[in-house]
């Protein structure tokens, strides 16, 4: 079955991009830039955002660059479960959007991202994992998590691939704005 990411069906999940967690993440600068790109595009394309923080008392808040970009589009949801769909507040926030496609980015790929993707699929979501927008402390953990998620039925994408797929055409009214982000 071929599934195309559509902005009116998609929800962006930004998972645990936190100040005290990111310094340990391999390729953190690149991942942070890709997440920032996704957030900017989501704001332009009017894709809702859910934004989580795992135990912020210990791991700190979301890095300021991402928090500022999300701005008033969402508030962070504190969670203790690793997977976002194991938390009632996150489940409620996701379900009220009425969306059916989940575009996932964040850290750590082998823990919170993996468990979010798997539980979202159990709950009926079509899950797109942004491979250049997820990370772990160790590359092996990230690679195995990406492989496991794909084998489970998630759809692998890159940030740019997801954004352009949501546009669908260069005739899209927001194409010029998006093109400026990608350049």
Would you say 77 and 50 are in contact if contact means Cβ atoms under 8 Å apart? yes
Would you say 113 and 134 are in contact if contact means Cβ atoms under 8 Å apart? yes
pLDDT given at position 18 = 95
Low-confidence ranges of the chain (pLDDT < 50): none
Q: How many whole angstroms separate alpha carbon 154 and alpha carbon 66?
A: 25
pLDDT given at position 87 = 81
pLDDT given at position 2 = 67
What value, to the nearest 5°, has the Cα angle with vertex 73 and ends 97 and 30? 105
Radius of gyration over every alpha carbon of the chain, rounded to an integer in angstroms: 15
pLDDT given at position 139 = 97
What does the block give as tokens for 83?
């997977």
Residue 153: other Cβ atoms inside 10 A: 12
Task: Give the chain's domains with CATH numbers.
Answer: 10-182 (3.40.50.850)
Q: How much is the pTM?
A: 0.96
Residue carrying structure tokens 């964040």: 106
Would you say 114 and 141 are in contact if contact means Cβ atoms under 8 Å apart? no
What does the block give as tokens for 66?
């991402």
Q: How many whole angstroms separate alpha carbon 79 and alpha carbon 178?
A: 32
């Amino acid at each position: 079955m071929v599934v195309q990411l559509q902005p009116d069906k998609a929800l962006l999940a930004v998972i645990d991009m936190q100040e005290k967690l990111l310094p340990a993440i391999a390729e953190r600068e690149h991942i942070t830039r890709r997440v920032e790109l996704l957030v900017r595009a989501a704001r332009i394309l009017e894709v809702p955002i859910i934004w989580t923080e795992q135990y912020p008392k210990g791991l700190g808040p979301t890095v300021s660059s991402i928090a500022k970009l999300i701005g008033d589009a969402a508030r962070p949801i504190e969670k203790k479960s690793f997977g976002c769909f194991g938390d009632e507040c996150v489940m409620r926030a996701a379900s009220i959007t009425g969306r059916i496609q989940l575009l996932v980015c964040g850290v750590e790929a082998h823990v919170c991202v993996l468990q979010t993707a798997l539980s979202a699929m159990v709950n009926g979501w079509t899950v797109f994992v942004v491979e250049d927008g997820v990370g772990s402390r160790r590359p092996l953990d990230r690679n195995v998590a990406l492989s496991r998620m794909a084998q489970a039925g998630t759809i692998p994408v890159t940030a740019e691939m997801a954004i352009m797929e949501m546009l669908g055409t260069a005739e899209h009214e927001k194409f010029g704005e998006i093109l400026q982000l990608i350049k």
